Structure 1
Amino acid sequence: MIQNVSHLLRTRRFVPLFVTQFLGAFNDNLFRTAMVMLVIYGIYKSEAQEAAFSALAGGLFILPFFLLSALSGQLADAIDKTRIIRAVKTAEIGIMVFGAAGLLLLNVPLMLVALTAMGVHSTFFGPIKYAILPQHLENDEVLGGTGLVEAGTYIAILGGTILGGLLVVQDPDGRYHAEYAAAAVLLVAVAGRVAGHFVPPAPPSTEDSGTENDPDLPRPGLDWHILRASIRLVKATMHVPRLFVAIMAISFFWAMGAVLAAQFPPLVKNVFGGDQSVATLFLAIFSVGVATGSLIINRLLNGQVSARFAPVSALLMGLCVLALYLFSRTWTPFPELAGIKTFLAEPSGWPVVASLFGVATFGGMFVVPLYAYLTTTVPKSETARTVAANNIVNSGAMVGATVILFCLVQLGVSVQETLLLVAAGTVVSAFLGRKLHQACVAAGCP
């Protein structure tokens, strides 16, 4: 894949978008990681409170995707995508002013408001990062470009996660501070706005639309009624069988991912007895794994858009989640919170890391081709709306998963037991992946 599309990293039609997306993902995770570490290790002292907070934070970030994706998809198809990029990156600077204030003041509600606003920011940027690729790239570059974006995104998540964990520091009195994290999120937001300025124009595509549109004006029929637009958009997309299966497969995958991501910090602290550096390691390993899976699947598929590896990828992911559960059951917590060196010195330390890496790698191999499938099997004039419909269903599944997780925690279900639910869910993902491959083959795909 690198040999085929590495030239994209030297072209203006790809690099500014790649950098803008990279910095956005970096800042999302820098802020979220700093916030979670500050709250779980520095503010809350209850296992139930910590697990509930993680679930709530994950749900609040995803909720805007569910509510606003229909509008974001319509706008991305109706006006120049580059104009939207510049608007949302300008908004990010204002949002991070509130986020930085929350970190400085140790104000949990203010941090959650900023997190929700970042969810709104990402909702309007989300359809563009995929829909703009078929517009700026050749057909045989789209899968590779998608893989580069995904790999870059998860490398950004890795960097943001590590930096977010490192910039929350503990003073000699045992209190946690995040002044450096507050400064960093503001600086990255400004850098993202600068990068967004260089993205080439991407006016509405008229392919298969039958009309010529003024790129500065919304298309006729733009629906500002959020609920009605969401229902209409999902119905218009999901009636196509192959898109229905693809979106359901992606949604179920991210529902499981939401549960895993929400439980990592409480799992590390309360089950493995690790400090914030170990929690950062877990999140970093997960990011590296998904990026690795993105690159591996592009190499295996050799530029083809296909779901043939999806079923086995999902099942292997489930086996790795099950291994992580078994290691957590036999783990003896440290008498006090331990750092990375102490954690990895345990006989099961490296096997735990390997299991987590496997979960993420096979997850990346499962989901990346599905996104490429969504953007290459519909007309270019409809790609943003298709991705937006996918985001609505994805976010609904993720919000539902976090609500269920929140309720299970309140009912006394342990963090470890939720891993079993994820492992069982991968069987459903494998089934959906097989159905998608069958639909793809029937439609003439590889």
Structure 2
Amino acid sequence: MIGALGLMKERRFLPLFVTQFLGAFNDNLFKNAMIFFATYQIFNSVEQETQFSAIATGIFILPFFLFSALAGQLADTYDKARIMRIIKAAEVAIMLVGAAGIFLKSLELMLVALVGMGVHSTFFGPIKYAVLPQHLRHEEVLGGTGLVEAGTYIAILCGTIAGGLISPNVAAIAVICVALAGWLSSLKIPPAPPLTKLELDFNIFRSSYRLIAATMHIKRLYLAIVAISVFWTIAAVLGVLFPPLVKNVFHAQKDVASVFLAIFSIGIAIGSVVINRLLKGEVSARYAVASVLAMAVFVIDFHFAAVFWPVNDGPLLDTRDFIALSAAWHVLFDLGMIAVTGGMFVVPLYAFLTTTVEKSQTARTVAANNIVNSGAMVAGSVGILGVTQIPGVSVEDSIWVVVALCFASAFCAWLLHKAEREPHGPDMLP
């Protein structure tokens, strides 16, 4: 069996990995450049900053909720490689709009491009997971899934750092170049012909309802999707809180916010690799409960590190001044471990989605997951915005919402682990 890293030498995996890596990089380069620009150059209050961060997160996620069912149908009905090439060509056009917004310092154009990138990711998401069981052997799927997750978060790291450090004009040129590179790499993805033929339903609301109803009757899929959705709600809440938390609690500049997001991305990538080693290719949730409970412990410690942060006046700290504080290493360690345990939790759950049903149905299964995930993430973004507006509730107090979500994830994972040990035959969507 080719080891997980050995897949990087294979044409059946490497072009897909590069294509999804560049897409994730571009998403985060553009989104973070926009959010940091608004947080540090336009708005001057924690309420406005948190509100804009939540709005940007919400409008990026909304297309997943609206169009995932159609994306899943298309991916299961047509050649997945061909669809990916069309999607990556569309990304070039979207980034031209985004670049115009950056050059003109127009938040309106930037938000239009952000919606476009959300649509782009909606149609690409089901394919990048659904193509794995078609191109890889069964025992390679968990390793391939782990590499895709690890690569996604390394890309988030690189895009986050670039979005926080490079100038707006350089970012405008970079997003176009990266989109072109992603399109070129998609040309090398081997064909992935359809394994079924569906009659497409273009009514996005009816097709979404039918897809979710068809998927959620399978117990293991239902529990995996709910657990993944709670996890991504945690990620959405932390994504909303990070920029105002860094500026107003840790009293630091935007480059420190980039460090926070970078540490989080590295940690999830590490967790993705660690869990693949522990499970040795087996698709199982047996480590999920322990992983997410450990995550809760580190979230609680992170909360208290924020409450007792020693610096709250004077100029905002840059990265060098921030890491010179001994308390900063405590904060960064907590962030890293939150992410490592999170990666260990979520990667096997994605493998459940692609191995529980027939290969001809994997894209629709991932699409159903994306619909539920996106709804949960939008609810989390809006919900945490509402929590921060409650009189007397500070940004650091809002971290307790994440703790509660960790315990909800642990319960879902426990139920999933019980369900996977029950006898079952092959599952099919109706």
1:364 Cα shift? 0.4
* Mean CA deviation greater in 435-444 or 256-265: 435-444
2:289 corresponds, among 301, 311, 317, to 311
The corresponding residue for 1:106 is: 105
2:364 corresponds, among 367, 385, 388, to 385
The corresponding residue for 1:240 is: 218
> Any gaps of 5 or more consecutive residues in structure 2?
426-430
The corresponding residue for 1:326 is: 304
* Mean CA deviation greater in 39-48 or 383-392: 39-48
The corresponding residue for 1:140 is: 139
The corresponding residue for 1:341 is: 320
The corresponding residue for 1:209 is: none
> Any gaps of 5 or more consecutive residues in structure 1?
169-177, 207-218
Q: Is the 8 A contact 2:77 2:194 kept in 1?
A: yes
Map 1:256-405 to 2 at 5 A: 256-331=234-309, 332-405=311-384
Q: Partners in 2 of 1:292 and 1:67 — Cα distance?
A: 32
Q: Is the 8 A contact 1:272 1:334 kept in 2?
A: no
1:387 Cα shift? 0.3
Q: Partners in 2 of 1:356 and 1:434 — Cα distance?
A: 24
Map 1:203-214 to 2 at 5 A: 203-206=193-196
Q: Which secondary structure state, in structure 2, belongs to the residue aligned with residue 12 of structure 1?
A: coil
Counterpart check, 1:424 vs 2:424: no
The corresponding residue for 1:410 is: 389
Q: Partners in 1 of 2:136 and 2:175 — Cα distance?
A: 31
Q: Partners in 2 of 1:423 and 1:386 — Cα distance?
A: 29
Q: Is the 8 A contact 1:56 1:406 kept in 2?
A: no
Q: Partners in 1 of 2:136 and 2:98 — Cα distance?
A: 35
The corresponding residue for 1:436 is: 416
1:410 Cα shift? 3.1
Q: Partners in 2 of 1:336 and 1:65 — Cα distance?
A: 40
Q: Partners in 1 of 2:157 and 2:208 — Cα distance?
A: 32
For residues 199-237 of structure 1, the C-alpha deviation after alignment (integer angstroms, 9 at most, x for no partner) is 11111124xxxxxxxxxxxx3421110000000000000
Q: Partners in 2 of 1:153 and 1:321 — Cα distance?
A: 23
Q: Partners in 2 of 1:60 and 1:434 — Cα distance?
A: 32
The corresponding residue for 2:175 is: 185
The corresponding residue for 2:95 is: 96
Q: Which secondary structure state, in structure 2, belongs to the residue aligned with residue 352 of structure 1?
A: helix
For residues 365-394 of structure 1, the C-alpha deviation after alignment (integer angstroms, 9 at most, x for no partner) is 000000001101110000000000000000
Amino acid in structure 2 at the alignment position of 1:405: I
Q: Is the 8 A contact 1:317 1:426 kept in 2?
A: yes
Q: Which secondary structure state, in structure 1, belongs to the residue aligned with residue 326 of structure 2?
A: coil
Cα RMSD of the aligned pairs, angstroms, is 1.3
1:47 Cα shift? 1.2
Q: Partners in 2 of 1:94 and 1:438 — Cα distance?
A: 47
Map 1:111-260 to 2 at 5 A: 111-168=110-167, 178-206=168-196, 219-260=197-238
Q: Is the 8 A contact 2:133 2:354 kept in 1?
A: yes
Amino acid in structure 2 at the alignment position of 1:91: A
Q: Partners in 2 of 1:205 and 1:298 — Cα distance?
A: 28
For residues 41-83 of structure 1, the C-alpha deviation after alignment (integer angstroms, 9 at most, x for no partner) is 1111121100000111100010000000000000000001111
1:444 Cα shift? 6.6
The corresponding residue for 2:428 is: none
Q: Is the 8 A contact 1:23 1:156 kept in 2?
A: yes
Amino acid in structure 2 at the alignment position of 1:415: V
Q: Partners in 2 of 1:401 and 1:336 — Cα distance?
A: 32
For residues 102-150 of structure 1, the C-alpha deviation after alignment (integer angstroms, 9 at most, x for no partner) is 1122211211111111000000000000000000001111110111111
Q: Partners in 2 of 1:156 and 1:278 — Cα distance?
A: 18
Q: Partners in 2 of 1:295 and 1:334 — Cα distance?
A: 40
Q: Partners in 2 of 1:156 and 1:379 — Cα distance?
A: 30
Amino acid in structure 2 at the alignment position of 1:425: L
Q: Partners in 1 of 2:194 and 2:15 — Cα distance?
A: 19
Please give the TM-score of this superposition, normalised by the length of structure 2. 0.96
For residues 318-350 of structure 1, the C-alpha deviation after alignment (integer angstroms, 9 at most, x for no partner) is 111111110100113241111111111222110
Amino acid in structure 1 at the alignment position of 2:177: L
1:89 Cα shift? 0.4
Q: Which runs of at least 4 in structure 1 moved beyond 6 Å after TM superposition?
A: none
1:29 Cα shift? 0.7
Q: Partners in 2 of 1:108 and 1:44 — Cα distance?
A: 12
Q: Partners in 2 of 1:232 and 1:127 — Cα distance?
A: 17
Q: Which secondary structure state, in structure 2, belongs to the residue aligned with residue 442 of structure 1?
A: coil
Q: Partners in 2 of 1:229 and 1:376 — Cα distance?
A: 23
Q: Partners in 1 of 2:423 and 2:336 — Cα distance?
A: 34
Q: Partners in 2 of 1:198 and 1:45 — Cα distance?
A: 47
Q: Is the 8 A contact 2:388 2:398 kept in 1?
A: no
Q: How many residue pairs get matched?
A: 423
Q: Partners in 2 of 1:220 and 1:294 — Cα distance?
A: 34
The corresponding residue for 2:21 is: 22
Q: Is the 8 A contact 1:52 1:409 kept in 2?
A: no
Q: Which secondary structure state, in structure 2, belongs to the residue aligned with residue 415 of structure 1?
A: coil
Amino acid in structure 2 at the alignment position of 1:391: N
Amino acid in structure 2 at the alignment position of 1:180: V
Q: Partners in 2 of 1:43 and 1:184 — Cα distance?
A: 23
Q: Partners in 1 of 2:280 and 2:424 — Cα distance?
A: 17
Q: Is the 8 A contact 1:289 1:358 kept in 2?
A: yes
